[in-house]
Each structure stands twice: as C-alpha cells, then as structure tokens.
Structure 1
C-alpha cells in the first residue's frame, strides 16, 4: 500500500548520523545516501519497498514536523523496540512515550515513541506476542 515515506530534515549530516544506527538496529538496509543531494533511503532486506527516506524538503523551505503526523517503524521483537528507543534517545531524540504494551490498540501491541532531532515523531513497534508466551 505504501511506496515510501519521506521526512524533511534541516541538517542532513546530523540526521544521517541519527538514522543510520537506528535503521541498522531495526534490520533495515541503507539503499542509498547522497550528501550532495542531502537525502538517504532505507529498505527492508527482503523487499524493494516501502522506502524510508530523509532529506531536505524539495521546495527548499525549512523542514518542519506536521502536527498529528507520525511514522511507525516495525520492529522484529519487543526487545528490539526497547533497544531502538534507547538508541534513539542516546542519539538525541526526545522521548514521547517509553516502551511498553499499549493494549488500547490491541493486546500484543508493544511500542515506544520519540521525536528525532528535527522534531519528527516516530514510533517503533512490535505487534507480536512476547516470545515464549
């Protein structure tokens, strides 16, 4: 259903340093990175799409997060949610919700929320039951 998601960033180098280890933690592969064009994209190892992209806004205006907009990234396990959230915070993210169950979404929904250095809101979540249960 989704081809790609693009988040506008103000400082490509800073954002690249933030997203490269975060995407690696989630098992996503860097498909391309072009500092001259100030954009980069990641993809799952087993599919060509969807792409997660960061870059300078096409219109040349300042990057700004949207109110009510959020990108949710799928994590393979609940432990990966925990690790990705901690990693994001160590890389300068602001916490918007600690890792934990969110049964109001469904019984096995485990997620964490944060804002990247540009203020874009992200979620890392796992929809699977805890391993061994």
Structure 2
C-alpha cells in the first residue's frame, strides 16, 4: 500500500544536510534534486521526498504524525539517530532503546528534523 512519503521544509539546504546524513548512515545515497528543488531519496524500494509546500504557505509539522524508517538492527538505528543529531536534528522521546508494547519488543530511536517533522527508526527485536 505504501508508495512514498513527503514532508515540507522551510529550509531545503538544512533538510538536505539532515536527510543526506541520516540516509547515508543506513546505506542510502544523497538526495536527487529535481527541477522544482525537491529532494528525492530512494532506498530499498521506498521513496521519500522533501520540498516546499506547493501552495506557497510555510511548511508545518503534522501534530500526531510520525514517519517510521525500518532498520536492520539496533546499531543501524543508533547510527541513523547519531547522524541526524550531528546534522541538525533533535533527539526526542526516550533515548534510543527497546520498548515493550502490543507489537512485542521494538528498538526505537526518535528525532525531529530541522523543520520539526517527527521521525522514528524502528527495528523489530526477534
């Protein structure tokens, strides 16, 4: 069902620095920039885009919205988290680690990107 996700940004250069770092930390490549200035990331069959809102209004975060990225292991989640902080992101929620819940054990790490979008690195612990 999932095809892609796009978040808004009011500072494309700060977003590029942040997302290039987090995707490269998990084996991805830097953004492709299209003719409209949008950042396009392709990794493991997923498509993630960053751009200024097309309606000309400022970008804003979705209250209650979290975008999750699948991680291969806790070490990859930590590398993603560390790269995000170093590239201008903010660590939020509890520190990276295992949480118990209705879906079993999950290793989770949360960040906000430079525009305030909430992101999560998730590894299902077996």
Q: TM-score, normalised by structure 1?
A: 0.85
Larger RCO (CA under 8 A, 6+ residues apart):
2
Aligned-pair CA distance for 1:54: 0.5
TM-score by length of 2: 0.89
Counterpart among 81, 94, 98 of residue 85 in structure 1: 81
The counterpart of 1:115, out of the listed 78, 91, 112, is 112
Q: Which runs of 5+ in 1 are unaligned?
A: none
User: How far is 1:128 from its partner?
Assistant: 3.7
Note the residue ranges of structure 2 that are not aligned, 5 or more in a row.
none
Residue number in structure 2 paired with 1:18: 18
> What is the distance in 2 between the residues matched to 1:88 and 1:42?
15
Q: CA RMSD in A?
A: 1.6
**The structure with more strand, counted as a fraction of residues:** 2
Stretches of 4+ aligned residues off by more than 6 angstroms: none
Task: Give the CA deviation at 1:93.
Answer: 1.2
CA contact (8 A) 1:30 1:43 kept: no
Q: Deviations over 1:79-101 (max 9, x none)?
A: 01111111111112111132111
